[in-house]
Structure 1
Amino acid sequence: MPLHIALTNPEALRERCDVSAVRTADAEPAYEPGAVIPAGPWRPITDAAARALSAPTATPASTLVEIVRPPLPTQDRLDDLALPLGDPQAQYLGQALAKPDMPTTTDNYRDGRLIGLHLDNWDKLPYEHKPSGRRRLALNLGPGTRYIILGVLDAQAVCRAVHPNDYAQRYPHTDDYRTYAAGGHALHVIRIRLAPGEGYIAPTEYLLHDGSTEGQEASAVAFWLGHWQSGNLPSLI
């Protein structure tokens, strides 16, 4: 299932959304070899593209992207912020600080190199169950604006493309996207602007993604994982 966004106002999405193709990193010291990164330039999305991203009514919550305004934490208790959303097992992952003007933000803790756009793998799900993973809730703590970058092609589709003979026995992985992009296949990503206090809920186990502070100041973000129904938080679009 491709990228689907909970959307009632396409113009509100267009005001904060751009699109780009991707490329693979080649001999770039900041990145892992083969990392998938936005190729640029970023371009505004069209009306037709915004409408195409709108989620059909039957879209499962587990594969849905929501652009939301999370509740403000009380008494600095960020770990409890997601409790009212309906999953008592929701997991607080902590915070991450991104430096200014980073096209992508996630690094490999072993050597500090950026991994580029990637799939999360907290739930370690095989192909068949990949769409049922937990979604990630993120809150931009500021002080700067930041972006969430999302691939328009889902992990199952990419896995089928690069492993046509045994995809059903695979565990879809970031490496599948790297192979796909390196093979010259067209792959596009969107980025959605998030001001301080804004956030997203997204299936980051199922969609290529990363954060970005390109052209922006530094910002911190807080993360949670959980199984949540859609519509629990006020939508910004």
Structure 2
Amino acid sequence: MRPPMPEEDDLERLADHLGDPEAQYLGQALAKPGMTTTTQNHAAGLLLGLHLDNWDKLIHGAKAHGRRRLALNLGPGTRYIILGALDAQAVCRTVHPTDYALRYPHTTDYRAHVAAGHPIRVYRFRLAPGEGYTAPTEYLLHDGSTDGQAEPSAMAFWLGHWPCGVLTTLK
């Protein structure tokens, strides 16, 4: 049975009590069923695919300290999060061995890494309606997916610095 979802007006405030008074509500994204990846580049009219967020525009040495993404699947369908297992700092050091400290790790670094023949393991995690995640999307390659699903899925997103252990449940 699907848990009750927050009302539209309550979504912006949903993360308020989780320990970061500066948390930022980013809004919602609806994905049609059957999408291998879900993040759109609206300017180009294309899907981004696996990518690295850059909300905080952090240089190599600070990249691991960026805000984390909190996401909640609003349904009605199942959604997946796809996460790469190799962090942005490691990729940046490999692609730019002489000047990585001056770089801002970016999705293009991951593309160069793979083009040079280096593998990146990815994992896909299922999120039923009412389930969510926190992830360092500034630090790990990621995207959403509705591949193999018959229903669309809406996600709500926030960015913040949440203390360890505070996100045991949103119920």
* Amino acid of the structure 2 residue aligned with 1:223: F
* SS in structure 1 at match of 2:36: coil
Query: Are 1:225 and 2:159 an aligned pair?
Result: yes
**Alignment partner, residue 78 of structure 2:** 145
In structure 1, the gaps of 5 or more residues are 1-69
Structure 1: distance between partners of 2:108 and 2:164? 30
**Alignment partner, residue 112 of structure 2:** 179
Q: How far is the alpha carbon of 1:154 from its aligned partner?
A: 0.1
Give the direction of change, closer, same or farther, for the CA distance of 1:125–1:75 in structure 2 (3 Å limit).
closer
Q: Please show how residues 103-114 of structure 1 align to structure 2 within 5 Å.
A: 103-114=36-47
Structure 2: distance between partners of 1:88 and 1:161? 36
Structure 2: distance between partners of 1:76 and 1:143? 18
Q: Hey, which bits of structure 1, 4+ residues long, moved more than 3 A? A: none
Q: How far is the alpha carbon of 1:76 from its aligned partner?
A: 3.6
1:22-57 Cα distance to aligned partner (Å, 9 max, x none): xxxxxxxxxxxxxxxxxxxxxxxxxxxxxxxxxxxx
- Give the RMSD, CA atoms, in angstroms: 1.6
8 Å Cα contact 1:71/1:81 also seen in 2: no
In structure 2, the gaps of 5 or more residues are none
Structure 2: distance between partners of 1:204 and 1:140? 16
Q: How far is the alpha carbon of 1:73 from its aligned partner?
A: 2.5
8 Å Cα contact 2:34/2:146 also seen in 1: yes
Structure 1: distance between partners of 2:55 and 2:139? 11
Higher relative contact order (CA 8 A, sep 6+): 2
**Alignment partner, residue 198 of structure 1:** 131
* SS in structure 1 at match of 2:41: coil
**Alignment partner, residue 92 of structure 2:** 159
1:69-127 Cα distance to aligned partner (Å, 9 max, x none): x9953574100000000111100000000011111011111021111100100100000
Query: Are 1:73 and 2:6 an aligned pair?
Result: yes
**Percent of aligned positions with the same letter in both sequences?**
72
8 Å Cα contact 2:5/2:74 also seen in 1: no
- The two structures have a TM-score, normalised by structure 2, of 0.93
Q: How many positions carry a matched residue from both structures? A: 166
